[in-house]
Structure 1
Amino acid sequence: MKGVLLVNLGSPDSPTAKDVKPYLDEFLMDERVIDVPLWLRNIIVRGIILRNRPKKSAEAYKKIWWEEGSPLVVISERFTEKVQSKTDIPIALGMRYGSITIKNALQELKNKGVDEVLLVPLYPHYAMSSFETVVVKTMEEKAAYFPDMKITTLPAFYKNPDYIKILSESIQRELKDFEYDHVLFSYHGIPERHIKKSDPTKFHCKIDGSCCSTNSVAHNTCYRHQCFKMTELVKKELALSEDKVSLSFQSRLPNDPWLKPYTDFEFERFPKEGKKKLAVITPAFVADCLETLEEIAMEGKSQFQEAGGNDYKHIPCLNDSDEWVGLMAKWIKDWQADETLPA
């Protein structure tokens, strides 16, 4: 019997330092997130970051926490329920980090008789710290507890025409009544070394502005290329002017080169160039979360306006929109019928 496992990032159980600390510990101790030797990761995470970061992060979570719980979790649960209503095979939700575990989700599917699973990492792009770690963790749980399960992974869908279409239509609706000078695609940042580590050729990715436009098998696992490609596809779909669109990368750790340009630097730069009406899109996420609701919608707006900007609009993620639910249901049905996966 077939079933589906949807997996997103995860969230602490509450916006308190007590619950944020173990969540951050699990997240940051992941070797695909902070990819240094274990002894050094222990020093960085448990010796430095976890001393002060949980309290600061808890305050950020409090700003965006909903009455029902973490926005990311609530939206993901709503999305799962809606997709389930449009399909006739079991669907379970797991999170890479936190108490809603992948193991429990797989057990839920097994209890319903599922022995063949479509794994859906809820990330449009491939990155070792997001898509890859979900796949690796799921396969570890399968090997340890569900050896007889067959698992197929839905590939990154950053350039899927149907996904680009519904993403573009969502953006267009939000821009309809907003007079903008510029549209910024802000993607989650990753260290530059992750790009080179994910390059199967070990020579193509140079992060020099040219390799992303040169065809290569490396693009299948290159987060940077995929972000640029998605931006170009949406820009073309919406016929956005070249000079009114750019991309940047947010959320980085200090003392380490991450993908550039940095989103916060762009917020300060735009008003100086006369771009004082800004719309910001966060297409690395399918569901709004701390990084979109607090870092971009709140902190980003303040930074932009303090730098001299006037009008600012954060465009929500697809969340549990009917169009996104319908597309996911279609992908599931195609796989269920003949194991066809979207390209």
Structure 2
Amino acid sequence: MKGVLLVNLGSPDSPTPKDVKPYLDEFLMDGRVIDTPQWLRNIIVRGIILQTRPKKSAEAYSKIWWEEGSPLIVISERFAEKVKNQTKMPVALGMRYGSMSIKNALQELHDQGVNDVLLVPLYPHYAMSSFETVVVKAMEVQAENFPEIRLTTLPAFYKNEDYVKVLSDSIANGLEGFDYDHILFSYHGIPERHIRKSDPTKFHCKIDGNCCKINSVAHHTCYRHQCYDTTELVKAQLNLPDEKVSSSFQSRLAGDPWLKPYTDFEFERLAKEGKTRLAVITPAFVSDCLETLEEIAMEGEEQFKEAGGESYKHIPCLNDNDAWVSLMAKWVNQWEAKEVLPV
């Protein structure tokens, strides 16, 4: 029997330091997020970051927390329920980090007699700290606890034509009535070394802007290339002028170089260049979360206006948009019918 496992990032159980701390510990101790030797990761995470970050993060979560709970969890649950209503297969929702674990979700499917699972990482792009860690964790849990279950993974779908149209239509709706003079596509940031580590050729990715223009198998796992490609695909779909669109990367940690340009620097640069009406899109996520709702929608507006900007619009993620739900249902139903999965 076939079933579907949707997996998103996860969230603490409450916006309190007590619940944020174990969530951050699981997240930051993931070797695909902070990819240092474990002894060093222990020092960085448990010896330094977790001494102060839980309180600060809890305050940030408190700003965006809904009455029903974590926005990312609530949105993901709504999305999963809507997908479930458009397929005959069992659908379960799990999180890479936190109490809504992948193991619990697989158990839910197993208890319904499912032995053939389509794993859907809810990330449009491939990155070792998002898409890859979901796949690896799911495979580990399956091998250890559910050896009779077969896993098939939905590939990163950022360039699927149907997805690009759904994303573009959502952005167009978000822009309606807003007289922007610039649109910033802000993507989740990752360390530059992650790009090189994910390069199967070990020589193609140079992060210099030119390697993205040369066709290579490395693009299948190159997060930077896929992000810039997303911007270009949406720009073409919506006929957006080149001079009014740019891309950047948010949420870096201090220390190693991360993908550039940095979003907070772009807020200041664009304002000082005379861009006064800014729309910001966060296409690395399909569900709004702490990073989009607090860092971009709240802090981003403050940073842009402090630098001289006047109007600011954060365009929501796809969330449980009906067109996005229907597209996901189409993909999972194609898989059930043994048709080709989207690429």
**Fold match (TM-score > 0.5):** yes
Alignment RMSD: 0.5
Query: What secondary structure sits across from 2:155 in the alignment?
Result: coil
Alignment of 1:270-281 (within 5 A): 270-281=270-281
Counterpart for residue 5 of structure 2: 5
Find the aligned partners of 1:252 and 1:189 in 2 and give their Cα distance: 6
Distance in 2 of aligned mates of 1:115 and 1:251: 38
Q: Residue by residue, what CA displacement relative to the aligned partner does 1:110-163 show, whole Å, maximum 9, x if unpaired?
A: 000100000000000000000000000000001100111110000000100000
Structure 1 residue 213 displacement after superposition: 1.1
- State, as a whole percentage, how many aligned pairs show the same letter: 77
1:171-182 counterparts in 2 under 5 A? Answer: 171-182=171-182
Could you tell me how far apart the structure 1 residues matched to 2:39 and 2:341 are?
40
Aligned to 2:310: 310
Partner of 2:93: 93
State the SS of the aligned residue for 2:337: helix
Indicate whether 1:162 and 2:162 are aligned.
yes
* Corresponding residue number in structure 2 for 1:137: 137
Report the counterpart of residue 54 of structure 1 in structure 2: 54
- Residue of structure 1 equivalent to 2:319: 319
Once the 2 structures are TM-superposed, how far is the Cα of residue 292 of structure 1 from its aligned partner?
0.3
Cα distance in 1, alignment partners of residues 284 and 188 from structure 2: 6
TM-score w.r.t. length of structure 2: 1.00
Task: In structure 2, give the amino acid aligned to 1:161.
Answer: E
Displacement of 1:339: 4.0
- State the Cα distance separating 1:176 from its structure 2 match: 1.7
SS in 1 for 2:114: coil
Matched, 1:206 2:206: yes
Q: SS of the residue aligned with 1:27?
A: helix
- Which residue does 1:341 correspond to in 2? 341
Q: Does 1:33 align with 2:47?
A: no
Q: Give, in whole Å, the separation in 1 of the partners of 2:75 and 2:201.
A: 38
Aligned-partner SS, 2:187: strand
Equivalent residue for 1:253? 253
Cα offset for 1:8? 0.2
* Structure 2 Cα separation of the partners of residues 192 and 66 of structure 1: 34
Corresponding pairs, count: 343
Matched letter for residue 131 of structure 2: F
- Aligned equivalents of 1:272 and 1:328: distance in 2? 41
Structure 2: distance between partners of 1:5 and 1:191: 29
Letter in 1 for 2:286: V
Kindly report which structure 2 residues correspond to 1:161-240, keeping only aligned pairs within 5 A, or say none. Answer: 161-240=161-240
Describe the SS at the equivalent of 2:152: strand
2:18 and 2:323 map into 1 onto residues whose CA distance is 38
Cα deviation, 1:13-48, whole Å, max 9, x if unaligned, reads 000000000000000000000000000000000000
Distance 1:209 1:191 in 2: 16
- 2:3 aligned partner, one-letter code: G
Helix, strand or coil: the match of 2:274?
Answer: coil
2:213 & 2:115 partners in 1: Cα distance?
Answer: 41
Aligned position for 2:83: 83
> In the alignment, residue 74 of structure 2 is paired with which amino acid?
V
1:215 Cα deviation (Å)?
0.3
The residue type paired with residue 27 of structure 1 is F
Give the AA of the match of 1:216. S
Find the residue that maps to 1:75 and give its secondary structure: helix
Q: In the TM superposition, what is the alpha-carbon distance from 1:256 to its structure 2 partner?
A: 1.1
Q: d(CA) in 2 for partners of 1:197 and 1:240?
A: 33
How far has the Cα of 1:340 moved from its partner? 1.9
SS in 1 for 2:206: coil
Task: Give the Cα–Cα distance (whole angstroms) in 2 for the partners of residues 176 and 297 of structure 1.
Answer: 17
Q: TM-score, normalised by structure 1?
A: 1.00
Whole-angstrom CA distance in 2 between matches of 1:99 and 1:127? 23
2:202, 2:270 → 1: CA distance?
36
| Partner SS, residue 226 of structure 2 | helix
In 1: Cα distance, 2:140 partner to 2:304 partner:
43
SS of match in other structure, 2:118 = strand
CA distance in 2, matches of 1:166, 1:177: 19
Q: Which residue of 1 aligns with 2:119?
A: 119
Moved over 4 A (4+): none
Q: AA paired with 1:187?
A: Y
Structure 2 distance, partners of 1:91, 1:136, is 20
Cα distance between partner residues in 1 of 2:172 and 2:339: 33
**Secondary structure in structure 2 of the residue aligned to 1:338:** coil
C-alpha distance in 1, partners of 2:4/2:127? 21
3-state secondary structure, aligned to 1:151: strand
Amino acid at match of 1:186: S
Q: Quote the Cα distance in structure 1 between the aligned partners of 2:328 and 2:42.
A: 38
1:295 is matched with: 295
